[in-house]
């Protein structure tokens, strides 16, 4: 029996039971669509994290108070020690590998304009923060350059803060209040989204670092952000930062992390999550395979006379086996293609609704889902096909 004859035989058998065929195809399609869409979500989450780290700035070192051993993830716990403006100025003045640097002091307070108020994070920093974080401005300018020890009354608003406090009014040059403090708006930052440092940059405001330290009675910094001149100098810069601060503090009491180290940790976690999602979705393919086996067993039972006639005309056991396996493969192949189309359509709709989330199924998931769907058909169709080969042609024809 030639391959075209096998396909015609299988297609004819499937077209004779259209509802049953449609349900079997739908079962496989749901499984493949689940694999494609869920792996797209996992890959999208990984890519989103990569983009967020890229937005932190290139060649970034983050200096954190407290000595914590870490293998790449963001460290928590440990004994907290102080980072000061003097530490920041020493790093900038003595480590030549640093291209740009910005201190970060943090407080939370209600910012008011007229009768409107909004409680937001207030980030104290310097003009270099915009360079280190690659921060763009929607209007106006960022904080002016001055000695970090000097206070100032300038403020830069995130886009959400500006919209909530000023509506459609241009905020540039207007005054806002924070307790007894008054600030003049000099700029509105372009939309940035949530930072991996833990802040929604669109719902925050930036003021000179010394002003924040005075307003919130802070003597220490939350973080120091350092941009190294080149990627190849990252490790050397990290060692020099640790050495200099250990010299100043008389002990090694800070943690310096690189964006690559944190990114690799997050990528490993999200890759494992993607594989787990694919495994969960693949369970539905196994369920669909059980349904296909039931369909094929019923098909063998209903077509005993047909099988008997084929064998009486000289068809070998191998040809009968191939005919029923072709039928099962057609079912799962059609279901796989339908599920692939449905999964890709679902991903396209998701990215249209949430364009900031770069969901896309990895190539291995698309190929694996189609291959597994066909493999499911062959695996679960094998037993019914084998039973068909065991039929005695005489008995099968007598039962017609």
Query: Which pLDDT value is given to residue 152?
Result: 92
CA distance 121 to 83: 20
Query: Which pLDDT value is given to residue 73?
Result: 47
On whether residue 382 sits in a domain, the answer given is: yes
Who contacts 359 (Cβ-Cβ below 8 Å, separation ≥6)?
A: 40, 41, 43, 44, 347, 350, 351
Does residue 101 sit in the same domain as residue 142? yes
Find the helix or strand (DSSP H, E) in which 254 lies: strand 254-258
How far from 86 is each of 26, 103, 240, 385, CA to CA, in Å?
67, 10, 16, 80
Does residue 107 sit in the same domain as residue 223? yes
Query: Which pLDDT value is given to residue 78?
Result: 46
Does residue 299 sit in the same domain as residue 394? yes
Query: Which pLDDT value is given to residue 58?
Result: 60
| Number of residues assigned to the chain | 400
Q: DSSP per residue over 294-338, as a string?
A: HHHHHHHHHTHHHHHHHHHTT--HHHHHHHHHHHHHHHHHHHHHH
Query: Which pLDDT value is given to residue 160?
Result: 93
On whether residue 68 sits in a domain, the answer given is: no
Instruction: Return the bridge partners of 206, or none.
Output: 123, 156
- Find tokens 């000097």 and name the residue: 150
On whether residue 63 sits in a domain, the answer given is: no
Encoded tokens for 84: 């000061």
Does residue 363 sit in the same domain as residue 286? yes
On whether residue 60 sits in a domain, the answer given is: no
Domain boundary at 220, 252, 284, which? Answer: 252
CB atoms closer than 10 angstroms to residue 342: 18
Domain boundary at 252, 277, 312, which? Answer: 252
Query: Which pLDDT value is given to residue 13?
Result: 59
Does residue 14 sit in the same domain as residue 130? no
On whether residue 179 sits in a domain, the answer given is: yes
Domain boundary at 225, 252, 279, which? Answer: 252
Domain that holds residue 325: 3-52+264-398
Closest by Cα among 146, 135, 240 to 189:
135
How far from 165 is each of 169, 186, 188, 293, CA to CA, in Å?
9, 15, 12, 64
Does residue 310 sit in the same domain as residue 365? yes
Does residue 226 sit in the same domain as residue 280? no
Does residue 86 sit in the same domain as residue 174? yes
Cα distance from N-terminal residue to C-terminal residue, the chain:
23
Domains in the chain: how many in total?
Answer: 2
Across the 400 residues of the chain, what is the mean pLDDT of every consecutive 10-residue run? 58 64 78 84 78 66 75 47 89 92 93 92 94 89 93 94 91 94 95 69 93 92 91 88 91 82 70 76 72 66 59 63 73 84 89 82 81 77 63 53
pTM of structure: 0.60
Q: DSSP per residue over 104-117, as a string?
A: EEEEEEEEEETTEE
CB atoms closer than 10 angstroms to residue 14: 21
The angle, 0 to 180 degrees and rounded to 10, between the axes of the packed helices 3-15 and 18-55 is 100
Does residue 237 sit in the same domain as residue 325? no
Q: Please, what is the Cα angle at 355 between 349 and 356, to 5 degrees?
A: 140
Does residue 293 sit in the same domain as residue 320? yes
Does residue 185 sit in the same domain as residue 296? no
On whether residue 174 sits in a domain, the answer given is: yes
Query: Which pLDDT value is given to residue 94?
Result: 92
CB atoms closer than 10 angstroms to residue 284: 19
How far from 3 is each of 7, 322, 388, CA to CA, in Å?
6, 9, 19
């Amino acid at each position: 029996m030639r391959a075209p004859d096998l396909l015609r035989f299988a297609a004819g058998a499937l077209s004779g039971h259209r509802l049953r065929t449609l349900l079997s195809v739908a079962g496989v399609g749901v499984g493949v669509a689940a694999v494609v869409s869920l792996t797209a979500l996992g890959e999208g989450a990984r890519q989103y994290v990569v983009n967020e780290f890229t937005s932190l700035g290139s060649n970034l070192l983050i200096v954190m108070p407290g000595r914590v051993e870490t293998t790449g993830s963001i460290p928590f716990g440990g004994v907290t020690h102080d980072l000061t403006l003097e530490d920041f100025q020493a790093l900038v003045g003595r480590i030549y590998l640093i291209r740009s640097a910005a201190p970060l002091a943090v407080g939370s307070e209600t910012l008011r304009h007229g009768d409107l108020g909004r409680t937001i994070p207030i980030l104290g920093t310097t003009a270099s923060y915009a360079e280190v974080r690659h921060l763009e401005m929607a209007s106006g300018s960022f904080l002016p350059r001055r000695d970090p020890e000097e206070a100032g009354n300038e403020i830069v608003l995130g886009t959400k803060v500006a919209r909530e406090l000023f509506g459609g009014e241009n905020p540039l040059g207007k005054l806002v209040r924070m307790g007894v403090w008054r600030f003049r708006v000099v700029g509105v930052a372009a939309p940035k989204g949530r930072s991996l440092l833990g802040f929604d940059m669109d719902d925050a405001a930036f003021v000179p670092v010394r002003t924040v330290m005075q307003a919130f009675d802070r003597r220490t910094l939350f973080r120091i952000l350092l941009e190294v001149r080149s990627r190849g100098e990252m490790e050397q810069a990290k060692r020099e930062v640790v050495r200099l601060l250990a010299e100043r503090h008389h002990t090694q009491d800070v943690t310096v992390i690189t964006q690559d180290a944190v990114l690799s940790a997050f990528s490993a976690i999200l890759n494992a999550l993607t594989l787990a999602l694919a495994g969960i979705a693949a369970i539905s393919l196994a369920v669909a395979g059980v349904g296909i086996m039931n369909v094929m067993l019923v098909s063998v039972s209903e077509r005993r006379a047909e099988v008997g006639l084929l064998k009486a005309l000289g068809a070998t056991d191998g040809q009968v086996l191939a005919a029923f396996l072709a039928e099962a493969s057609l079912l799962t192949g059609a279901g796989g293609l339908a599920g692939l189309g449905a999964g890709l359509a679902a991903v396209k709709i998701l990215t249209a609704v949430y364009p900031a989330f770069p969901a896309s199924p990895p190539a291995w998931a698309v190929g694996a889902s189609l291959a597994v769907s066909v493999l499911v058909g062959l695996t679960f169709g094998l037993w019914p096909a084998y039973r068909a080969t065991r039929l005695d042609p005489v008995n099968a024809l007598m039962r017609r």
